[in-house]
Amino acid sequence: MSKNIINTFICYETTTGLGYAKNLRDALTRMHMSAFVAKEDIKKGEQPQEIIDEAIKGCEYFLVIITYPAINSEDVKREITLADSLNKVIIPCKEKNVDRSWLSELPVISELQQIDFENREELANDVISEIKERETLKAIERGAIKATFESIPSVIRNIQNLLSQIGQSIKGKKVGLIGYGTNGREIAEEAKNYGAVVSISDNDPIKLLSARYKGYDADSILDLVGDSDLIIAATGKKSIGRAEILKLKNNAILASASFKSVEIDVEELENLCTAKNATEIGTWYVLVNGNTVLLLETEFPQDSILQIIKERFIH
């Protein structure tokens, strides 16, 4: 089976639910996603329970279509319980005229965010959008960006290209790297090869120990940002907030190894500035404490990346 095919299992109870399920299966198929409709897709001579269980085990997304009078079938409840025990992504899809009281009968899905729909088209569109969003996030998490953008210059090379436009170089700078994971290790090594003096900060003591073993100075994040000429955030989450911004020394340079909006609290940076000047390489901020800092434009547009991932991984 193609790695781009998304396996879905569609669970239903009523005749109306079957109609929704079949229409949803057709819509998913047109999007190059596979879908198994419980009971409906069992061939003659096959053992229903065995086939259903295997289909649930093989699926990524378990869709529960709930129509009036909600779910009472023990078979359906058993299928939901099995999907939950296998850690499948369960997406409840509830017809809008069904009272929410059914939730108390299905504790497995009572806390899950549900899709409310009025017609077949709305159900299909909402389910496909939900799956696409989840697949996009999964692609990002598993490093699809790196695989997709192999031709994109490295973080350090990109920073060096930007700094050269204002007559500066990474060579000789004190580089503070926040995050010493897989990407952080590569960034640290390349920065050192460019002639930088690299220090590391990471919340994981094991990673800090590893950094020291490699010969890097290791420090707390506040001490790191206060002593560095260039700070590179490479944690994959928010790592530079108000306290870190106010700790930056005058003329410090900020850069993100991913999206600046992920690593750096840009809104807080805006709140803490008294003046700013946007240039081609980034934005200069004059902070309330009088220090000037430069936020480099080291990232690629997030919307463009997400769109490319969707086109490449989710057809």
Domain boundaries, given as residue ranges, for the chain? 7-146, 153-299
Mean pLDDT for the stretch of residues 73-100: 86
Name residues whose C-beta falls within 8 Å of residue 101's C-beta, 6 or more positions apart in sequence: 70
CA 21 vs. chain centroid, Å, equals: 29
Looking at domain 153-299, its CATH superfamily turns out to be NAD(P)-binding Rossmann-like Domain (3.40.50.720)
Proportion of the chain above pLDDT 90, given as a percent: 44
pLDDT of residue 2: 41
Do 246 and 272 form a contact (C-beta atoms < 8 A)? yes
Give pLDDT tens digits for 151-178.
344 789 889 999 999 999 999 999 999 9
Do 53 and 80 form a contact (C-beta atoms < 8 A)? no
CA 83 vs. chain centroid, Å, equals: 23
- Distance, in Å, from the CA atom of 56 to the CA atom of 2, rounded to the nearest integer, reads 18
* 7-146 shares its CATH topology with 153-299: yes
Which stretches within the chain are classed as H helix? 15-30, 48-58, 74-85, 120-141, 144-148, 155-164, 182-193, 205-213, 221-227, 242-247, 260-263, 266-271, 302-313
pLDDT at 68 over 70: yes
Of 244, 110, 84, 94, whose CA–CA distance to 178 is shortest? 244
Its CATH architecture, for the domain 7-146, is 3-Layer(aba) Sandwich (3.40)
pLDDT at 5 over 80: no
Mean pLDDT for the stretch of residues 276-297: 94
89 vs 138, higher pLDDT: 89
pLDDT at 194 over 90: yes
pLDDT of residue 47: 64
